[in-house]
């Protein structure tokens, strides 16, 4: 399938292939939508098996960012970038700076941040060649690692879920099964245990597992059984597609709410969860804390303001749950409609002519 065939019909604006022989850079930047503002999304550095795989991934992730920003109420569009290669071997100062120069050529239509395979320090390096980067380290006036903020947002999102299902937002005494205690899952365990929840965790990484057990006194279970635990909340905080044909029949929880991206393997799994009476907190809504945090950095970072804005995830989820109830659609569908509705409405007001003169306005 050609690139144009692949992006046709899904509203993608621009796909940029970046190649630099000197540094061996091979990157793809996908801008899905700038209807609400510049396209913001992280740079994934990953050893894709093929260019096709990289393209499919970057397109899917870019579209997800459009919805995430729109649902979070941000004036941002959706984009994403991938660098093809093994970050442990291929990453170098010159490669990252070369990549930064390509971002600069887009003149602010795309703003990058860290993602899988890239870290804060990498963003500091990219920033030496372009202004269009956020999520930098504190040393460079940035907001630092967004993961704890993502966890804070998930924690508040879980409260909205509890209110919807149990009639009270309190997490005290609630049982929560957390799959993956990496950067976000670990911080989430901290909030949950502090709030008096009973937490059970599973992780493939024994060091991460031991750290959470030692710091928070959480219980552990086996990897294969975490999703099937008889808990109030199942929190996927590792990888995507964990709600699929095989796992959905095992679920005993009342709520699925975690930080992982693309939790549902297919859209229809959202309907299936609804059919089973399990409340699903749409991933791109509940895990938007990190995005809200790096967006705040673009304004001149204020931690307190960022955290307050992240708490709004609670209200956004309430709106989505209400729409789901009223219209009899899954929460996953209601979330996409919520985001699309905002894009439509704000795009419409942008059609009002203002006193901005330039080539576009005098055409
Ligand atoms: P991370 O790599 O720090 O943590 C992931 C954890 O999951 C690791 O401890 C890993 O060992 C564990 N894991 C991997 N496979 C597993 C499996 N099969 N079963 C159980 N555990 C497994 O990543 P993170 O930054 O904490 O992000 C977690 C998820 O949240 C990812 O899907 C990420 O895309 C998403 N997310 C993260 C942020 C953020 O701010 N970091 C924001 C939005 C979404």
The enclosing H or E element of 324 equals: helix 313-327
Ligand 1 within 6 A of CB of 260: yes
Task: Tell me which of 80, 127, 254, 272 is the catalytic residue.
Answer: 80
Q: Tell me how far the alpha carbon of residue 1 lies from the centroid of ligand 1, in angstroms.
A: 31
The tens place of each residue's pLDDT in the chain, 363 residues long, gives 888 888 888 889 999 999 999 999 999 999 999 999 999 999 999 999 999 999 999 999 999 999 999 999 999 999 999 999 999 999 999 999 999 999 999 999 999 999 999 999 999 999 999 999 999 999 988 999 999 999 999 999 999 999 999 999 999 999 999 999 999 999 999 999 999 999 999 999 999 999 999 999 999 999 999 999 999 999 999 998 999 999 999 999 999 999 999 999 999 999 999 999 999 999 999 999 999 999 999 999 999 999 999 999 999 999 999 999 999 999 999 999 999 999 999 999 988 988 766 655 554
Interatomic CA distance for residues 316 and 322, integer angstroms: 10
Residue nearest to atom 41 of ligand 1 (CA): 147
Return the CA Rg of the chain. Answer: 20
Q: Is 80 known to be catalytic?
A: yes
The stretches of 107-203 forming alpha helices (DSSP H) are: 120-126, 147-166, 183-194
Q: Tell me how far the alpha carbon of residue 234 lies from the centroid of ligand 1, in angstroms.
A: 15
Residue nearest to atom 35 of ligand 1 (CA): 260
Residue nearest to atom 19 of ligand 1 (CA): 203
Q: Tell me how far the alpha carbon of residue 135 lies from the centroid of ligand 1, in angstroms.
A: 18
Q: Interior CA angle at 340 toward 9 and 335, to 5°?
A: 115
Testing ligand 1's pocket by substitution, the residue of 181, 259, 294 carrying the most ligand atoms inside 8 A of its CB is 259
Q: Which pLDDT score, from 0 to 100, does residue 360 have?
A: 59
Residue ranges and CATH numbers for the domains of the chain are: 3-64+76-140 (3.40.50.10860), 147-331 (3.40.50.720)
Ligand 1 within 6 A of CB of 185: yes
Strands (E), 213-328: 219-220, 233-236, 255-256, 279-280
């Amino acid at each position: 399938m050609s690139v144009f065939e692949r992006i046709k019909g899904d509203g993608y604006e621009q796909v940029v292939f970046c190649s630099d022989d000197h540094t061996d850079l091979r990157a793809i930047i996908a801008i899905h939508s700038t209807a609400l503002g510049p396209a913001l999304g992280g740079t994934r550095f990953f050893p894709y098996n093929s260019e096709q795989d990289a393209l499919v991934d970057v397109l899917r992730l870019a579209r997800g960012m459009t919805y995430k920003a729109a649902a979070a109420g941000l004036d941002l569009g959706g984009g994403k970038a991938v660098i093809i290669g093994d970050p442990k071997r291929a990453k170098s100062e010159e490669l990252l700076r070369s990549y930064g120069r390509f971002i600069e050529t887009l003149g602010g239509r795309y703003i990058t941040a860290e993602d899988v395979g890239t870290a804060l320090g990498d963003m500091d390096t990219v920033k030496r060649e372009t202004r269009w980067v956020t999520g930098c380290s504190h040393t460079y006036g940035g907001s630092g690692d967004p993961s704890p903020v993502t966890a804070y947002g998930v924690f508040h999102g879980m409260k909205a879920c509890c209110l919807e299902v149990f009639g009270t937002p309190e997490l005290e005494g609630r049982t929560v099964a957390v799959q993956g205690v990496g950067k976000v899952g670990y911080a989430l365990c901290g909030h949950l245990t502090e709030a008096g929840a009973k937490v059970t965790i599973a992780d493939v990484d024994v060091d991460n597992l031991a750290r959470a057990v030692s710091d928070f006194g959480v219980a552990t279970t086996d990897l294969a059984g975490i999703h099937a635990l008889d808990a109030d909340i199942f929190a996927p905080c590792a990888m995507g597609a964990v709600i699929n044909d095989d796992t959905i029949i095992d679920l005993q929880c009342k709520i699925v709410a975690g930080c992982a991206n693309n939790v549902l393997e297919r859209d229809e799994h959202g309907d299936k969860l609804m059919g089973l009476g399990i409340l699903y907190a749409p991933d791109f809504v509940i895990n938007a804390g990190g995005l809200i945090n790096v967006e705040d950095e673009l304004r001149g970072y204020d931690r307190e303001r960022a955290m307050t804005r992240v708490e709004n995830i609670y209200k956004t989820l309430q709106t989505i749950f209400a729409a789901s109830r009223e219209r009899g659609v899954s929460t996953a569908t209601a979330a996409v409609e919520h985001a699309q509705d905002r894009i439509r409405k704000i795009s419409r007001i942008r059609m009002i002519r203002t006193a901005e003169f330039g080539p576009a306005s005098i055409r």
